[in-house]
Structure 1
Amino acid sequence: GFFILLAIAGFTTLLALMEQMVSYLNKFQNLKRSKAASIVTGAVFTVGMLSVFSTNLLEGVQIVGMNLLDSFDWWINKVGLPLGGLFTAIFVGWVIKKENVILAFGADETNVELLYTAIKFLCPVAIIIVFISQFVS
């Protein structure tokens, strides 16, 4: 029972994540939704199978001394997540209008002002320091 529910939770999360890519292909690349969904599903399946087989059939395939799963893990955790956070902080702090951020939080304007200032100035600097420090140490 537990693993069935876990699989359902994982699948629904996968659908939500894939929706962004499908919508992009549909809207900006003018692909039919069904074709876009097929392309995204194929890409996700292929990357997933590379991870699955990296410990058996593809164990000889290595990137910088790591198998594919470890390599994917390293790139996502050490590079992808920090850069995603940095770009999000820059986008929220410098691209989106302050009034829209205040409306999105729907809270007291004074508290949001403090949070907005932290997102705009403190977060990018902190993320860059942490990002660089993981490669220095």
Structure 2
Amino acid sequence: MIQVAAAIIHNEEGQLLIARRRQGKSQAGLWEFPGGKIEQDESIADCLQRELHEEMGITILPYESFGVNEHNYGSVEIRLFAWKARYLGGVIELVDHDEYRWVFPAALGQFTFAPADIPFVERLMVGADQV
């Protein structure tokens, strides 16, 4: 099972950062909360800070767990750790994605998310856990 971290990043307006996987990547065309694989002996917070710097050129501050979801994609099974994070700065430059948006939680349903992210999307949309 692959250990993966996802950042539920919010800005000062309460919007969340979502990104669409580019063609040629697994889950291409689907939206997700950005993140990546957790390296051996790496904390989730360290993974998210590294991945968001590498993949988007931004600085974030992960501060609280939002939950864990396991999903079997058939060829690979992942354990996805979602963490809330604050956007601290940087200009977004996409590497693994072809588009990004800042959206309010209520608008998340307008996007087609990767299956592993859906439980987090649903929680955010009903307001059970405000970011």
User: The TM-score by the shorter chain falls in which range?
Assistant: under 0.3
Whichever structure has more strand as a proportion of its residues is: 2
Whichever structure has more helix as a proportion of its residues is: 1
Taking structure 1 as the reference length, the TM-score comes to 0.20
Taking structure 2 as the reference length, the TM-score comes to 0.21
